[in-house]
Amino acid sequence: MAALLPDRARVRARAALLLCCFSGVALAATPDLPRVSKDQPIDLVAASSDFDYKKNELIFKQVRVTQGPLKVEADDASATGLNFEDSDWTLKGNVKITLPDGMLTSSDAKVMFRRNQISRAEIHGAPAQFEQLIKETGKLAKGRANSIVFDVQADTVRMAGDAWLTDGENVIRGETLVYDIAGQRVAANPGGTDPGGVRITINPRSQDKPADKDKPAGTQKAAPAPPKPETPQ
């Protein structure tokens, strides 16, 4: 039926579909992402470490903490202890948190370990940034905001404060954007009432190809031949 619609109607129809996608419908098929288990070992590597007995605080330089598909890296880190059953980590400088098919980057962050696994990460920056590969399209979903909260158990990334997100073609902006990693869904300003609180920019270049490109090879009209020069009398 799409072939029966005029070009403008098809563009409007696809724009409406993208609007639905950005409102919470899945952006792509749910990928088979690796999951984090508390039974997986936690591996810590650092350039140096120091233990402050007065503050009961561990200090690391050039630290990397890995558990299964998750990895946390930073120039500097301080922790309330190496007991990953219940400890909080403060990270500063070139913070990078690697997720299944994506990552978070910022200038500083706080990571919480509960029951021997990473349970939550709060990152802040100017701005904090997020990206994840959309397997169906092969493009990167990218987002940024003043702060981002990654909830491992809920498998969500919550961007707050001048939040911005693109699916590789189109853009959505709002005060708060909540991205479902496994389902690859996004909810903008949940519960919001401001009529202008969500803004969506649809890139028209991604909607329709020029008509000539849609025709099979050899069916385009040939350019008219130049006129023959007149023969002098």
pLDDT at 8: 42
Helix (H) or strand (E) holding 22: helix 7-22
pLDDT at 31: 35
pLDDT at 205: 58
pLDDT interval class at 181 (50, 70, 90): confident
Give the whole-angstrom CA distance, residue 42 versus residue 78: 17
* Residue 233 vs residues 229, 230: alpha-carbon distances, Å: 12, 9
* pTM exceeds cut of 0.75: no
Question: What are the chain's domains?
Answer: 33-205 (2.60.450.10)
Residue 14, pLDDT > 70, answer no
**Token output for 31:** 């990928």
Residue 161: other Cβ atoms inside 10 A: 14
pLDDT at 228: 59
Residue 63, pLDDT > 90, answer yes
pLDDT interval class at 83 (50, 70, 90): confident
What is the DSSP secondary-structure string of 208-228? ---HHHHSPTT-SPPPPPPPP
Choice between 171 and 56, residue whose per-residue pLDDT is larger? 171
Per-residue pLDDT averaged across 120-125, rounded?
A: 89
Residue 22, pLDDT > 50, answer no
